[in-house]
Structure 1
Amino acid sequence: MSYTCALSLKKIKDYLAGAAVVGFDFETSPIEEYRSEERAALDAHKAAITGVSLSVSEDSGIYIPLRHRAGRNIQKPEAVMDYLRQAVFENATVIKVAHNLAFESMFLYALGVIVQPPCYDTIAAAQLTLKSSTTFRGLSDSGLKTLVPQLFHVELPDFETVTAGRFFDELDPQDKETVRYACADSDYALRLYHLFNGWFDQYLPRHRRIVEQIESPTSVYCGLMRYNGLLMDRAAMEAKQAEAEERISAIREEIAFLIGDVEIGANASTSAFKSYLYKDLGLPVVKTTAKYQEAADDETMILLAAWCRENRPELTRLFELVQEYRRWGKIKGTYLDGYLRHINSATGRIHPDLMPLGTETGRFAARNPNLQNMPRKGSDPIGIRNMLVAPEGYQVMELDYSQIELRVGAFYCRDARMLETYRGGGDIHAQTTSVIYNIPIEQAADKSAAEYKDRRAIAKGCNFGCFYGLFPKGLQRTLKFKAGLDTPLAECEKIIANLKAGYPQLSLWQEVVKRQAKVRRYSETWLGRRRYLPGIVSDDWGKKSFAERCAMNTPIQGTAADILKMAMARLVVELPEYPWIVPVLTVHDSLVFYVAEEKVQEAGVLIKGLMERQPFPEFDVPLVAEVATGTNYGELDEW
């Protein structure tokens, strides 16, 4: 292999001359203050780029040592990085290839550089290729040290072997093993680029477009969000933590007063507590687990509480307390203890891992911590969102796609009533209220009507489930647990029948989608993001029914996810001109930013315009991004 150490700018320029595709990779090491901290080398706030490897062709690469503590480094590393910024990272004529592009993007963003398209993330490409006939690779299957032995039959040396317990900046950059390790990462990223594109072109051409135009710019955007993080009001969180501990202790004592010394554990789901409910109290089994054991989840507690109100009113208080105990336990464990544990010591912020391909439909997932599942105002007695605050001189800005899945659903099913409602800027929930109750739209939208609130709750339940094959029992359950409405099953059946009659194209579209999925064994988004559904031909009704729901869910939820990511890709191109717009988070269908106070109006107009742009030529339903701003994430004022 032709791997060499580059110690002059001339050698770098000669190597890159005429290259249209460049693989690159960074080696990083902690700065002095954080060298005793585990994983600090992976944090762009606690580490610096030790060296850069570049590859322009198979079996070749150069390693540019910037900050090694042994051996020789290139002179003027800042000038070298400035050259690479212009020649590679911001060059619109060069395809930039990296394995885990979000990582490299994060370290470049720390230097004020935003990687510009065209770019290519081979870890995203890996997750859009098949590892079996019907299964795509997961994130855990997509590491470079996993892929290279599988696809090239070459064992790459691991980091621990090469470094022998040292940081990378302690290695001699002139040592051939150091150079080999560094250059192999960029060389094999480039090889994966060619290998995956060949595979896409042969088997799934539309996935190549998704990787190049959607997922790779999204990886860059993830690097920006990861670097920026969210500022936490630590003092307020610690105060609420103490308050939560007191509340949990008080509830536990009240439960103990009712049930004695039965051990309930941290979540009131111990086998002793279940035995007390079903054996000692003789309560009915209203729900079972997948293994046909008595359930004790939140839904079960709600169902048992409802049963007790009718049959054992003296036990109603117990179930109210259990639900409250669990709610406070989750608030403390997940949101207070969990978020505090992840506050970065260098920044005072949380920097979650955001995974753009964390779900099968292409929606984001998050971990360490999962900021996607923050409670809404109505179910959050401590106001956890209020503790995510704007830094001084900035405001929090959120732009949320209004009813994007319903708009995408209307686009797919082509129902005239739905399309007319959205194109005319109408109220889809009022329209659905009108449809399912056979009342004029004016009456459905009348907020002073006695039945307005309940009817609208039912319409919302229908709207958010109708595209995914809503069943009467499912609607009944949704209304029970999300809207607090006890709706008879017969009424739910009538509501769904009216819904299908009022939106006739909806049912037709659902049947076509299920039929197509049964023939193809997969469903896909408008842009071709595929999801295999082998269970759709199963003899097991449960598996088949689940696959049918996935067949209907994937085009809508997946296309909505694609639209959000396309907005991110547009932002990546624009953000170098707007350094006062700071991306920090995505939650479901929204993007969250910190924006300089004096630039709020300008930022809102810019981002809203980028998000509402027609995502692809066929999409003929207006997109609406609602803007809200404030000093913290929990108290945002809508524009």
Structure 2
Amino acid sequence: MPYRSILSLPDLQTYLSSTAVAAFDFETAPDDAYRSDDRAALDAHKSHIAGISFSVAEGDAVYLPLAHRVGENAAKQDAIWAWLKPGFFMNPAVIKIAHNLAFESAFLYAKGIVVQEPCYDTIAAAQLVYKNEKEFRSLGDCGLKTLVPEYFGEQLPSYTETVGGHHFDELDPQAERTVRYACADSDYALRLYHLFNGWFDRFLPKHRFITGKIESPTAVYVGLMRYNGLPIDRPLMEQKGLEAEKKLAELRRDIAFIIGDVPIGANASTAAFKKYLFDRLKLPKVKQTEKGRGVTKRAGGAFLPDPPERVALDDEALILLREYCEKNRPELVRLFELVQEYRRWGKIKSTYINGYLKYVNTVTGRIHPDLLPLATETGRFASKNPNCQNMPRAGADDIGVRNFIVAPEGKILLSLDFSQIELRVGAFYCKDEKMLETYRSGGDIHAQTTSVIYKIPLEQAKDKNAPQYKERRTIAKSCNFGTFFGLFPKGLQKTLKFKAGLDVSLDECDRIIRSLKSGYPRLSRWQEETKRRAEFRKYTETWLGRRRSLPGITSANWNVKSFAQRVALNTPIQGTAADILKLALGRIVRGLPEHPWLCPLLQIHDELVFELPENQLKKAVLFIKTCMETQPFEAFSVPIMAEAAAGKRFGELHELEGCL
């Protein structure tokens, strides 16, 4: 096999100069201070590139050693990097392929290089091919050591087998096993590129576009966010941790005063506490756990008996129990108020204080979460280690979690948030004239829906001093965010009850939905057409063709079929909104070389967060708004708006409209 080591810039230029498609892969090793850290080689702040392999043809690859501690490394490395930056990594004439492009992107960003299109992430491509006739591959199925045996019948040596307890830079870069291991990664990334593109061309051509034009530039952006991390105020987090612990201790004492020495645990859901509530106090078992199908248990208005292990005591169950006690056991209402408060503070401390502190990087003092752009079936991001997607909004928690993120001296945080992007996408799909006109004229869609539901003049719906303004607007918002997804009266009632604190009868919810559909006539038509099309195809998709299989849509089981129908409606809207966001990320990546001071930090739902020098704020807002508000594809006829806010702390950002 013609794998070989090269040591000079001319050899590298000769190998890469005549190709329009090349794969590359980094071998990394920990810096001296982190040699005992098992995961340091994966962190661009704790490690370095030991060598790079390149492949331009199947079965052919070269390895360029850069920082091995034995053997011979490439000479004149400054010249090599000076050529690689414009000649390869930012070259618009070369398709750059990597398996897990976000990883390589982070290490290149540390050297001041932002990978430019065309680029191709084979790990993203792998997640967009079918694993079987019903589902796509998950991230866990997409490692190179998994894909190569499956697709090519070759067993690649593992990293552990290759290094034998050493670090990669301790291997001889001219040794056959070192060269074979390094070169195989880029060789098989190139083979996967051709294999997946052939599969896409045959079965799902639109997924080739999504891989190359949406997910691969997004992978580069993810690497930048991962490298930059979130600047945090650790003293504030520790101070708030002490406050939270004090509050929890007070709540435990107050609860114990009522229930005695019954252990409640960290989340007030121990078996002993359930036994106290349901056996000793004889309170009704209002809800089952997921094991018991996760539904509220009422039959003809009565509560049903349930095995103890299936009795739920989640937040919804606590609300139902408190309501029961308000009518039947008023002396216990205080207990449930305390338990709800105890849980809220417990989550703040465990998830947002201890949970975040656990991931503070010892080099940067920042949190570097794993952002996963293909972790959901709609194409929306997910986050872990820690999860920053569920960070509460400013003002929604007593502790001020978003204030933990603070800009360094001389810098400022900037947030750009898509305004009602899913509702705009929904209006685009259903083509309802009232919705479209509202957005095209810069109107208030929630006021428009209030007007439609309650059959009142639009001016009255907008009037904040009008009777029932707040309640009606809350109901309109819930309808707007749920109605595109096939909202039922029971679902609306539940949403209003548990998320908005409104008690609305089932009959009134039914009337509201009927009024909504009659007021937006094209909405129902789009929903029915979409469900019929999905039932015929057995899948649903976004406007750009991101597909999601729906094997359950023809099920005889109503619950299974109904869920699939809701997914059929949800995915085009939520998935197209995700595609629009990712297209914006690609534009930002293309413009970052001209804005090197702009640091992407975080994606959270429809919001992008950046760190930048205070004196560059106006320029940054103009650039990012342009990237986000550009028409995403030719057919999209609804204006897109991104709202800007800036400040020193993430929880205290100030809107910038009219301020620049």
Q: TM-score, normalised by structure 2?
A: 0.96
Please report how far the alpha carbon of residue 289 of structure 1 lies from its aligned counterpart in structure 2 after TM superposition. 2.1
**C-alpha separation in 2, matches of 1:274 and 1:149:** 50
Q: Which residue of 2 aligns with 1:34?
A: 34
**C-alpha separation in 1, matches of 2:281 and 2:393:** 35
Q: Does 1:514 align with 2:531?
A: yes
Structure 1 runs (4+) deviating above 6 angstroms are none
Q: Does 1:374 align with 2:391?
A: yes
* Structure 1 gap ranges (5+): none
Please report how far the alpha carbon of residue 449 of structure 1 lies from its aligned counterpart in structure 2 after TM superposition. 1.1
Q: Is the deviation greater in 305-314 or in 430-439?
A: 305-314
Question: Does structure 1 retain, via aligned residues, the 8 Å contact 2:394–2:652?
Answer: no
Q: Which residue of 2 aligns with 1:625?
A: 642
Task: Indicate the SS of the match to 1:165.
Answer: coil
Question: Does structure 1 retain, via aligned residues, the 8 Å contact 2:20–2:94?
Answer: yes
Match of 2:491 among 460, 474, 483: 474
**C-alpha separation in 2, matches of 1:224 and 1:407:** 29
Q: Does 1:556 align with 2:567?
A: no
Please report how far the alpha carbon of residue 450 of structure 1 lies from its aligned counterpart in structure 2 after TM superposition. 2.5
**C-alpha separation in 2, matches of 1:82 and 1:472:** 63
Q: Does 1:354 align with 2:363?
A: no
**C-alpha separation in 2, matches of 1:76 and 1:346:** 29
Instruction: Map 1:427-446; keep pairs closer than 5 Å.
Output: 427-446=444-463
Match of 2:500 among 483, 487, 491: 483
Q: Which residue of 2 aligns with 1:425?
A: 442
Q: Is the deviation greater in 332-341 or in 279-288?
A: 279-288
* CA deviation string 1:258-317 (max 9, x = no partner): 112222111111122112211111112222123332211111001111111111110001
**C-alpha separation in 2, matches of 1:205 and 1:264:** 55
Q: Which residue of 1 aligns with 2:511?
A: 494
* Structure 2 gap ranges (5+): 293-309
**C-alpha separation in 2, matches of 1:300 and 1:510:** 32
**C-alpha separation in 1, matches of 2:396 and 2:273:** 25
Question: Does structure 1 retain, via aligned residues, the 8 Å contact 2:97–2:119?
Answer: yes
* CA deviation string 1:480-516 (max 9, x = no partner): 1221111111111111110011011111111111111
Q: Which residue of 2 aligns with 1:177?
A: 177
**C-alpha separation in 2, matches of 1:182 and 1:377:** 47
Q: Which residue of 2 aligns with 1:388?
A: 405
Task: Indicate the SS of the match to 2:650.
Answer: coil
Indicate the percent of aligned positions where both proteins have the same amino acid.
Answer: 63
Letter in 2 for 1:245: E
Task: Indicate the SS of the match to 2:188.
Answer: helix
Q: Which residue of 2 aligns with 1:272?
A: 272
Letter in 1 for 2:358: R
Match of 1:307 among 313, 319, 324: 324
**C-alpha separation in 2, matches of 1:162 and 1:249:** 52
Question: Does structure 1 retain, via aligned residues, the 8 Å contact 2:24–2:96?
Answer: yes
**C-alpha separation in 2, matches of 1:362 and 1:124:** 11
Question: Does structure 1 retain, via aligned residues, the 8 Å contact 2:30–2:40?
Answer: yes
**C-alpha separation in 1, matches of 2:77 and 2:251:** 60
**C-alpha separation in 2, matches of 1:334 and 1:632:** 19
Q: Does 1:463 align with 2:480?
A: yes
* CA deviation string 1:182-218 (max 9, x = no partner): 0000000000000000000000000000000000000
**C-alpha separation in 2, matches of 1:594 and 1:12:** 36
**C-alpha separation in 2, matches of 1:146 and 1:101:** 17
Q: Does 1:136 align with 2:136?
A: yes
Please report how far the alpha carbon of residue 574 of structure 1 lies from its aligned counterpart in structure 2 after TM superposition. 0.3
Q: Which residue of 2 aligns with 1:16?
A: 16
* CA deviation string 1:155-206 (max 9, x = no partner): 0000000000111110000101000000000000000000000000000000
Q: Which residue of 1 aligns with 2:85?
A: 85
**C-alpha separation in 1, matches of 2:569 and 2:537:** 14
Q: Which residue of 2 aligns with 1:68?
A: 68
Task: Indicate the SS of the match to 2:602.
Answer: strand
RMSD: 0.8
Please report how far the alpha carbon of residue 252 of structure 1 lies from its aligned counterpart in structure 2 after TM superposition. 1.1
* CA deviation string 1:308-359 (max 9, x = no partner): 1111110001111111111111100000001001010000100000000010
**C-alpha separation in 1, matches of 2:13 and 2:644:** 45
Q: Which residue of 2 aligns with 1:290?
A: 290
Match of 1:335 among 349, 352, 372: 352
Q: Which residue of 1 aligns with 2:157?
A: 157
Please report how far the alpha carbon of residue 624 of structure 1 lies from its aligned counterpart in structure 2 after TM superposition. 0.3
Task: Indicate the SS of the match to 1:634.
Answer: helix
Q: Which residue of 2 aligns with 1:448?
A: 465
**C-alpha separation in 1, matches of 2:531 and 2:273:** 43
Question: Does structure 1 retain, via aligned residues, the 8 Å contact 2:359–2:367?
Answer: yes
* CA deviation string 1:71-105 (max 9, x = no partner): 01011222212211122100000000000000000
Task: Indicate the SS of the match to 1:371.
Answer: coil
Q: TM-score, normalised by structure 1?
A: 0.99
Task: Indicate the SS of the match to 1:450.
Answer: coil
